[in-house]
Structure 1
Amino acid sequence: MASKRTPHGPEQHHKLIVDSTFIANPEPYDSDRRKMYYHSKSPTNYARKIQIACDFHHRIVHVSECYQGSVHDITVLRDSGLLAHVNDSVQIIVDKGYIGEDYVINPRKKPHGRELSDEDKNFNRDINSTRAAIENINQRLKTYAIIGGVYRGEIDDFEKTTKI
C-alpha cells in the first residue's frame, strides 16, 4: 500500500483527467505579443495557458509549462510531455477542446443536422460528470488566488512565478 510520501506522478494511474486553464495578463505593449497572448475567454483578452492533469482522487499529478494564450488545448497536450509519461493503458479524459486525437476520451459531438442518440447522451453525461473533478481543481486554484486574477509581473518571469 502506498504511503502519503509516495509520489503521485502521471505514470502511476489508469485514468487521468486533463484540462487547460488560462491566467490573465495585462495587455502587452508590443503588437506581436498581443497576437501571441490573445485569449478570448480572458477578462483582459490576453492570457497564458497551463494544462493540469489530476487523478480520480483529485490529486494534481501533472502541470505543464506555460503556453501563450493563443495556443490550442490539443497542442498543449502534445507538447506538454504528459503523453511521454503514460503508457497506452492509461485513459486520458478530456473536453471537446482535445478532439482529434485517438488516445483521449472526449464527449461525442452532435452530428450536423441530427440529434445525439440516447447512448451518446449518456456517454457525454458520464464523461462530463467525471471531468467535474478537474474543473473543480481549476476553480479552487483561481478562487484561492493561486492562479486567479491578472498576473502583473514581467511576462518573461511568468514561468518561474507560476511553477507549482
Structure 2
Amino acid sequence: RRAGLNIQVAADTNGGLLGISIPLPGAMHDRKSFTECGWEDLLADVPVIADPAYQGTHAITPRKKPKGGELSIGDKANNRVISSLRSAVERCIAHVKNWKILATGFRGHLAELPNVIRIVTALEFYRLGW
C-alpha cells in the first residue's frame, strides 16, 4: 500500500482553479508543504487565505481558540468572513479530488505523477477557458 500524497491547490475566491503544486509526501504537514513546493516565497506579495494549518505563514488564517479560553466577538466575526471566502476554495479542492486519476489512486510510476498532474491541470485550465 502506498502512502498518500499531499498537493497544494490554489483557487480564487470564486472557486476557480489557479494552480496545483507538485506532489509531496502525504505525511508532510500543510505548513511545510506550502514552503517545500515553493509557494510560500512565490506568493509572498499576494494576499493568501488559508485554513489554520497554515498559521506561521503570511497567509490570512482563522484564529484558533486559545487554550482554556474563548475567542473575542471580533475574532469570531473575522473567522466567519475568512470561512465564507474559503468555502469557494474548498469547492475547488473537492472538484480536484474528483478527478479520476486522483480519486482512484495513481497506479503508475510515482516519478511520472508530477507530469500527470501538470497535464490534468492544463486540461482543466483548457476546460475553464484559460
TM-score in same-fold range (> 0.5)? yes
Larger Rg: 1
Deviations 1:100-126 (A, max 9, x none): 22x111010101111111111111111
Q: Who is 1:54 aligned against? A: 11
Deviations 1:60-88 (A, max 9, x none): 22221110111111111112222343353
Q: How does 1:16-55 map to 2 (within 5 A)?
A: 27-28=1-2, 46-55=3-12
Pairwise CA distance, 1:91: 1.2
Q: Which runs of 5+ in 1 are unaligned?
A: 1-26, 29-45
Matched position secondary structure for 1:135? helix
Contact 2:11 2:18 in 1 (8 A): yes
- Identity rate of aligned residues, in percent? 32
Deviations 1:45-64 (A, max 9, x none): x2111101112233222221
More helix as a share of residues: 2
Matched position secondary structure for 1:108? coil
What is the TM-score of this pair, normalised by structure 2?
0.80
Please point out which of 38, 41, 61 is paired with 1:106.
61
Matched AA of 1:66: P
CA distance in 2 between counterparts of 1:118 and 1:111 reads 13
Taking only aligned residues, the RMSD between alpha carbons, in angstroms, comes to 1.8
CA 1:151–1:87: 2 relative to 1, 3 Å: closer
Matched AA of 1:153: G
Q: Does 1:97 align with 2:41?
A: no
Contact 2:15 2:90 in 1 (8 A): no
Q: Which runs of 5+ in 2 are unaligned?
A: 122-130
Pairwise CA distance, 1:159: 1.9
Q: How does 1:108-127 map to 2 (within 5 A)?
A: 108-127=63-82
CA 1:144–1:154: 2 relative to 1, 3 Å: closer
CA distance in 1 between counterparts of 2:67 and 2:43 reads 34
CA distance in 1 between counterparts of 2:17 and 2:59 reads 18
CA distance in 2 between counterparts of 1:82 and 1:58 reads 19
Q: Indicate the larger mover: 65-74 or 51-60.
A: 51-60
What is the TM-score of this pair, normalised by structure 1?
0.65
Q: Who is 2:116 aligned against? A: 161
Pairwise CA distance, 1:155: 2.3
Matched position secondary structure for 1:126? helix
CA distance in 1 between counterparts of 2:32 and 2:110 reads 21
